Amino acid sequence: CVQDKLPKECKEVCRDVTPLFLQDYHPELSFRLAWQLGKIYKAQYDTEKQRDAETQGGKIQKEVNSNGQARLQMAFEAKAKEQLQKTIGAYDSAVDYLQMMRRSISQPFGREVEKFAMEWIDLLIQSIKNERDREKQKTFLKKLVSALELFKKSELQNYFQDYCIGAQPDKDSDQVLSLLPDDVAVFYPILLEDDSVELLLVSSNAVQLLTERMTEKLSVTELTKNANSFRQEMENIREQIVPNNITKRVQQIGLDATLKEIKTAHQKSLEGVKNIGGVLYEWLIKPVTKVLNSQAKVSTLVIVPDGILRTIPFAALYNKEKGIFFVQEQYALAVVPGLTLTTLGETSMPRSNVQGLLNGLSESIPSPLSLPGLKAGEELEAIAKVTLWGNKKPKKLENQSFTISELESELQNNSYSIVHLATHGQFKKDPLETFLVTYDFFKTRELLKMGKLQSLMRIPTSHDKPVELLTLSACESAMGDDRAALGMAGVAIDVGVKSALGTLWLVNDKATRQIMEGFYQNLGESKLSKAQALQKAQKNFLEKSPVVGEENEVATAYDKRHPYYWGAFLLIGKWQ
């Protein structure tokens, strides 16, 4: 059945070898057989499509007259459409068998499921584009949502090597859409293996493929190039303001020349951000806003990023027509690894007398990590003063008291809605290498790995009081590493909290403090969702706050309009 040449006997075996006993006791085998049958039909569909293309190209014009050619072309089109429908049917059957075994799959099989889901996505997109019947199109579009969610779940399970993630019964697309609020739209950029890019927009109104609204045909190669260049502009400023680098430059060229150099670098990089961010906005966001402009109720855009797009801050994409960043428009933003992996339909978190556990590490981290010190104490002090906590002042674990054992004890003995970690964290391509730093590193070189963080965050869940929000205010992932960024996007799901607030790169201390303080203050003072509270904090920093740095002369040269200072913050998971 795996050969390109498909004997009749092979097709008969694949078609008929799924009696009830196989379906009930060997769903994996049934899945494989249905998938293989789908591949057979797909090969036949490709053949019919090629014949249709040859007919349209006139390669067999000499053999038939014009009327005959038209009839032949219609026949090939009908045959190709029939084969595509058979292919989709076989893949649908494979999905049904897959649902029977989602709780007991192995790692190698998990990677096959990811491949299967991508094939299913590609087939459904072809079906949507080929189908003229609007009702059938709607059916395929809803299936496409299901296929994307299957891919996202498999991708996350394979990254964390945890096949219990999303192990609850899968919701179908109708169930998901019924739980989606009227004020929320969900955006799926889809990066396909043939180097093409598709955009899907989901709202309570409709599911729409935005191919016709794209300003130009887009390739994954070109998108990746621009996404990496966009992220590089953030890294350029980050390197520019490293204290040791500044000290060396002052020694080399003097203070005034260094200040001028920093200002010039910010100006140049900001122009680069606007240019590249403008291109990405035209490609990705403009087709979406064209649709959303007619849906006045939508105030939140939930993004399910794909591939390299996980590494960039959508809030920092630039609307050249209006001269503003996307964060300054009317849509609050949230990122989810998958819609069905996110808690939908529940009430939002309480907004008064919230219990918080604030943790931080200010000291420089010694070798072999050799990470700079953070002003975590100032950050925690500012956050502790906001009105969100009411009469319940948050508990603080700082420096020597911020250890894994102390954290575990607090979570065992108290119910915290919010856990804030102001400490270095790095997300890696391999989740086993991802870590956060506690004071244990100073004593035993022990790091807080994802597995342990997962067990810590699930302590409240075992008490039926899961953590509403986990904040990682000083974490980072490497530029261009979409697998590491997948870990960031999936952290809320993996550790069992409803939402996470994290950063794509390590941000300037003062900017972090201002945005974190604003975020928590917004949560306590208004009925804003978490996504809206973050958007307001970022906008206030960008538009209203003082300069980034006031504590020394060099810091006055920092330009807070640059997205390096405010764009890294992502709300992940439940956005309400």
pLDDT one-digit tens code per residue, 322-367: 999 999 999 999 999 998 888 776 667 777 788 999 999 999 999 9
Domain assignment present for residue 517? The answer is yes
Question: Given this model, what pLDDT does residue 546 score?
Answer: 54
Of the given ranges (45-59, 257-271, 390-404, 496-510), which has the lowest mean pLDDT? 45-59
Residues 68 and 167 in one domain: yes
Domain assignment present for residue 211? The answer is no
Residue 39 has pLDDT above 90, yes or no: no
Residues 28 and 106 in one domain: yes
For 470, the token pair is 């986990």
Residues 372 and 291 in one domain: no
Tell which of 179, 206, 234 closes a domain.
179
Contact 349, 470 (CB under 8 A): no
Question: Given this model, what pLDDT does residue 99 score?
Answer: 81
Contact 441, 369 (CB under 8 A): yes
> At which residue do the structure tokens 């390197």 appear?
239
Tell which of 179, 205, 234 closes a domain.
179
H or E element, residue 219: none
Domain assignment present for residue 188? The answer is no
Residue 61 has pLDDT above 70, yes or no: no
Structural domain range at position 297: 220-335
Contact 519, 507 (CB under 8 A): no
Helices and strands (H, E) in the chain, number of each type: 20, 15
Read off the pLDDT band of 368 (50, 70, 90): very high
Read off the pLDDT band of 67 (50, 70, 90): low
Question: Given this model, what pLDDT does residue 36 score?
Answer: 87
Question: Given this model, what pLDDT does residue 278 score?
Answer: 98
The pLDDT of 436-458, averaged and rounded, is 95
Domain assignment present for residue 198? The answer is no
Closest CA to 125 of 113, 136, 140: 140
Residue 501 has pLDDT above 90, yes or no: yes
Read off the pLDDT band of 155 (50, 70, 90): very high
Residues 122 and 224 in one domain: no
Number of domains composing the chain: 3
Question: Given this model, what pLDDT does residue 411 score?
Answer: 96
Domain assignment present for residue 203? The answer is no
CA distances from 24 to 109, 113, 172, 446 (A): 19, 19, 21, 47
The pLDDT of 272-298, averaged and rounded, is 94
Average predicted confidence (pLDDT) for the chain: 86
Contact 277, 162 (CB under 8 A): no
Domain assignment present for residue 140? The answer is yes
Residue 17 has pLDDT above 50, yes or no: no
Residue 2 has pLDDT above 60, yes or no: no
